[in-house]
Amino acid sequence: MDYRLDEIDRRIIYELMRNAHDTTAPAIAEATNVSSGTIRNRINQLEDYGIIRSYTTEIDFERADDRLTNLYICTAPISERKSLAREAHSIPGVINVRELMTGRKNLHILAVGEDTESLRRVARALSGLGIEVEDETLLEAERHVPYAPFGPDRKSPASDPTDVISLTGGAEVVDVTISSEAPIVGLSLKEAVAEGVLDEDTLVIAVERGDSVITPDGTTTIQADDIVTVLCRRDDTDRVLEPFIAEEVNEI
């Protein structure tokens, strides 16, 4: 049975994404003008329906115990992706597995190790399961923001990325939600390069559209509300993202 969110549910999710550790039911109740009991009941419902799945503590393992955090970009056979993702969770050191609906690079696996040898053991264990490790890199930092359309003003700065992963070597993987006013909307990647909208060296890794994730090529047309994953240098992020964002804040 589906559960349809209302304004109170959306605000609860926003506040918990913003700061689940310190956010209390009374604080959310005051912001939404309902009782604390209502907020607690709604949170229980959201948990029961699997909408709120967990409350995660973010750890800087390098500061905590001088550990290394590594991101593995992997490919698993589509028919075995879910089962292999579950098996990957059991490998010592693996702390997160993300499944993507693509043919290749459809598993992103995060692992923590004491040193490079322990991370190599994780890679060998993944290969032993039949998961192909396409690429890997040390993770420097990861930042999250709450989903703005569920927030109090329903506005999202057009220039703000949805999610940013900072990699060693001065690179970033950026997820950005495409507004209807973005210059690249309606253009294929090839057309965008030809018209000078998109830099030829910009690497678009994935396009999330609705419930599907597209592995892009030159013929892929970017649409409003797509979530586009872009690889860029940290000192060049703003310029690289210009084709994907509008010049002003838009009402969602």
Domain boundaries along the sequence of the chain:
7-48, 61-139, 148-251
Number of H helices, E strands in the chain: 8, 11
* Residue 9 pLDDT grade (very low, low, confident, very high; cuts 50, 70, 90): very high
Which of 134-138, 189-193, 236-240 comes out lowest in average pLDDT? 236-240
Instruction: Give the pLDDT of residue 166.
Output: 62
pLDDT category of residue 209 using cuts at 50, 70 and 90: confident
pLDDT at res. 223: 92
* Domain over 61-139 is classified CATH 3.40.1390.20: no
What pLDDT was estimated at residue 165? Answer: 67
What's the predicted TM-score (pTM) here? 0.56
In angstroms, the CA 230 to CA 80 distance is 27
d(CA 233, CA 249): 25
Identify whether the C-beta of residue 225 lies closer than 8 Å to the C-beta of residue 232.
no
Identify the CATH class of 148-251: alpha beta
Question: 3-state class of 193 per DSSP?
Answer: helix
Q: Are 197 and 184 in contact (CB under 8 A)?
A: yes
3-class SS of residue 94: strand
Amino acid symbol at 152: P
Look up residue 34 and give its DSSP letter: S
Tell how far CA 32 is from the center of its chain. 27
Is pLDDT at 249 greater than 60 in this prediction?
A: no
Whether 7-48 and 61-139 share one fold: the answer is no
Partner residues linked to 47 by β-bridges: none
- pLDDT tens for residues 45-97? 999 999 998 887 777 787 888 899 999 999 999 999 999 999 999 999 999 99
Q: What pLDDT shows up at residue 140?
A: 73
CB neighbour class for 149 (10 Å; exposed up to 12, middle 13-18, buried from 19): middle
Taking only Cα atoms into account, the Rg of the chain, rounded to an integer number of angstroms, comes to 20
Tokens 């009941």 belong to which residue?
41
pLDDT score recorded for residue 170: 67
- In single-letter form, the type of residue at position 79 comes to S
Has residue 169 got a pLDDT over 70?
A: no
Whole-angstrom distance, CA of residue 42 vs CA of residue 48: 10
Which overall architecture, per CATH, does domain 7-48 show?
Orthogonal Bundle (1.10)
pLDDT over 70, % of the chain: 89
Please spell the DSSP secondary structure of 101-149, one letter per residue.
SSSSS-EEEEEEESSHHHHHHHHHHHHHTT-EEEEEEEEEEEEE---GG
